[in-house]
């Protein structure tokens, strides 16, 4: 289902309040972590720790960690610094539980004095550092089965989103599917209906493409007033990965498309049985069935074992856990393209099949809830993307749009892919309004919020819902504190 219900204002207000609450809970924890970009003050290191492990760790891992711990103490004792054997661990919670994806380990005062962690202790699949704390945070829906989580854009480097931080949107939870038994059935207006196993799919010639996926509800809280505080909250429903799979045209050519077929329905194999209609021209042009993400198998939350990639189109077109494709001479008018995922206009009419995600950019650092250390040099950096092709230019303003200067684009600049931009800025200590504005290769210029509202209007308690690609404004006050504002 859609994130918001255009016919239920009271329900929408509760959902927005839950979003704000979820972000506040995340920030409350992040502000106490010295390694977080949201830590505005010095946080004292945690007290010396015992050799205790987070709940849920298996006994083998506990034993391995204990052996490493004892070896560390022994080595420190022999090196003459036994009195400081158990080093304090800055940036971790008081109970010493490591962030998701990491393992907590005692930190020696001098890592050159003791051996490091044994090779293979991670079980053969690497973990990240215990000092890297960025995570997706989930909107507090009544049930975690139908919800979404945001990518921490503020911590990102380059353009690739780590697979474990790629945003999520689920309507019926994360399906668990055995690839050995999974099949994709292609039928309808085809010459030879056929079922394809995963082994069949992987036999075809493959391609790899780096593309962003963005939920059309990205930024839905920000139409009528600044609501969420961080860039993760305002823009975190977009991520970029390298996807590997088989062109959809290959599969369609295999079954033979009948004359007159103009649309196809793609159906997911989760409990929501998500479906969307896709124009046949788009399907044949650049859509593909992906089984790989960032060099490994696609993650379960991203549709393992098979996901449709529809480059440049809104996120829920990228059906996960693909199990069925049906061809027809007309769109299927599913729930997710009629009562949901349409753009309501001031006239009361709704625009249907507004599928392409237009050009958009955002400054990720500095951004909301961060604090500048003081006047002087600061690099402004962010991301720009367009569903219509490559990003051609990004301009940055530090005075609320009165003047603009070109930012540097970091290569590679790829079609339908996020581009990283950078801009050198010397802050004079005075109040500033930071903005970015991108232009794609079609000449489309990212609009201001006022320009969008003039066309789309403000319908409902938060305004319009989908396809918000307006210029984002961050206010820097004289203390260096950054906040989300509307300025246009």
Euclidean distance between CA atoms 125 and 159, whole angstroms: 23
Q: Which two tokens stand for residue 141?
A: 């829906």
- Whether omega before 295 lies within 30 degrees of 0, making that bond cis, reads no
Mean pLDDT of 407-436: 98
Spacing of C-alpha 225 from chain mean position: 23
Please name every residue paired with 422 in a beta bridge, in sequence order, or none if there are none: 381, 408
Euclidean distance between CA atoms 406 and 424, whole angstroms: 10
Q: Which two tokens stand for residue 337?
A: 């393209």
Task: Tell me how far apart the terminal alpha carbons of the chain are, to the nearest angstrom.
Answer: 33
Does position 54 have pLDDT exceeding 60, yes or no? no
- For position 258, what pLDDT does the model report? 98
Euclidean distance between CA atoms 385 and 211, whole angstroms: 10
Does position 47 have pLDDT exceeding 50, yes or no? no
Backbone φ and ψ for 14, nearest 5 degrees, come out as: -65, -40
- For position 1, what pLDDT does the model report? 43
* Spatial contact of 383 and 418, defined as CB atoms under 8 Å apart: yes
Does position 9 have pLDDT exceeding 80, yes or no? no
- For position 96, what pLDDT does the model report? 60
Q: What is the Cα gyration radius of the chain?
A: 24
Euclidean distance between CA atoms 327 and 405, whole angstroms: 48
Give the residue among 435, 394, 386, 445 at the shortest CA–CA distance from 414.
386
Q: Report the half-sphere exposure of 421 (CA within 13 A, side-chain side).
A: 29
- For position 86, what pLDDT does the model report? 25
* Spatial contact of 362 and 338, defined as CB atoms under 8 Å apart: no
Choice between 394 and 144, residue whose per-residue pLDDT is larger = 394
The chain-wide mean pLDDT, for the chain, equals 87
Spacing of C-alpha 110 from chain mean position: 37
pLDDT in tens, 71-111: 333 333 333 333 222 222 333 444 468 999 999 999 999 99
* Spatial contact of 109 and 54, defined as CB atoms under 8 Å apart: no
Give the residue among 470, 437, 441, 476 at the shortest CA–CA distance from 453.
470
- For position 107, what pLDDT does the model report? 93
- For position 413, what pLDDT does the model report? 98
DSSP string, 126-177: --B-TT-----EE---S-TTSEEEE--GGG--SSPPPGGGS-EEESS-----
- Could you tell me the CA-to-CA distances from 255 to 183, 234, 316, 487 in Å, in that order? 15, 43, 25, 53
Backbone φ and ψ for 451, nearest 5 degrees, come out as: -65, -40
Euclidean distance between CA atoms 488 and 33, whole angstroms: 34
* Spatial contact of 229 and 23, defined as CB atoms under 8 Å apart: yes
């Amino acid at each position: 289902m859609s994130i918001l219900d255009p016919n239920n204002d009271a329900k929408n207000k509760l959902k927005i309040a839950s979003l704000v609450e979820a972000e506040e809970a995340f920030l409350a924890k992040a502000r106490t972590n010295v390694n977080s970009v949201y830590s505005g003050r010095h946080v004292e290191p945690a007290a010396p720790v015992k050799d205790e492990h987070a709940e849920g760790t298996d006994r083998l891992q506990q034993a391995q960690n204990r052996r490493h711990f004892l070896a560390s103490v022994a080595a420190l004792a022999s090196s003459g610094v036994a009195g400081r054997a158990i080093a304090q661990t800055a940036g971790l919670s008081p109970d010493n539980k490591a962030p998701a994806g990491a393992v907590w380990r005692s930190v020696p005062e001098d890592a050159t004095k003791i051996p490091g962690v044994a090779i293979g202790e991670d079980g053969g699949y690497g973990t990240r550092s215990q000092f890297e704390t960025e995570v997706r945070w989930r909107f507090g829906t009544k049930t975690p089965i139908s919800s979404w989580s945001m990518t921490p854009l503020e911590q990102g480097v380059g353009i690739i989103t780590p697979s474990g931080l790629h945003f999520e949107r689920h309507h019926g939870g994360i399906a668990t599917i055995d690839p050995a038994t999974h099949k994709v059935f292609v039928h309808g207006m085809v010459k030879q209906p056929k079922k394809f196993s995963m082994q069949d799919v992987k036999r075809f010639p493959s391609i790899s493409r780096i593309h962003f996926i963005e939920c059309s509800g990205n930024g839905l809280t920000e139409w009528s007033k600044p609501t969420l505080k961080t860039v993760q909250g305002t823009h975190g429903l977009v991520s970029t990965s390298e996807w590997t799979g088989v062109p959809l045209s290959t599969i369609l050519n295999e079954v033979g498309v009948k004359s007159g077929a103009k649309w196809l329905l793609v159906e997911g194999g989760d409990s929501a049985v998500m479906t969307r209609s896709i124009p046949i021209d788009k399907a044949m042009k650049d859509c593909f069935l992906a089984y790989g993400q960032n060099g490994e198998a696609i993650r379960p939350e991203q549709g393992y074992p098979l996901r449709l990639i529809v480059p440049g189109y809104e996120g829920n077109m990228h059906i996960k856990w693909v199990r069925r494709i049906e061809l027809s001479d007309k769109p299927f008018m599913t729930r997710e393209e009629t009562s949901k995922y349409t753009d309501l206009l001031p006239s009361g009419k709704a625009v249907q099949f507004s599928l392409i995600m237009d050009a958009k950019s955002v400054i990720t650092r500095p951004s909301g809830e961060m604090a500048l250390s003081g006047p002087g040099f600061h690099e402004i950096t962010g991301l720009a993307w367009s569903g219509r092709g490559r990003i051609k230019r990004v301009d940055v303003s530090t005075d609320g749009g009165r003047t603009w200067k070109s930012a540097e684009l970091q290569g590679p600049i790829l079609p339908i892919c996020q581009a990283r931009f950078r801009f050198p800025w010397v802050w004079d200590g005075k109040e500033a309004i930071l903005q970015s504005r991108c232009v794609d290769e079609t000449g489309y210029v990212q609009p201001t919020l006022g320009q969008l509202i003039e066309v789309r209007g403000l319908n409902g308690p938060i305004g319009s819902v989908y396809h918000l690609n307006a210029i984002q404004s961050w206010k820097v006050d004289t203390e260096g504190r950054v906040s989300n504002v509307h300025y246009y």
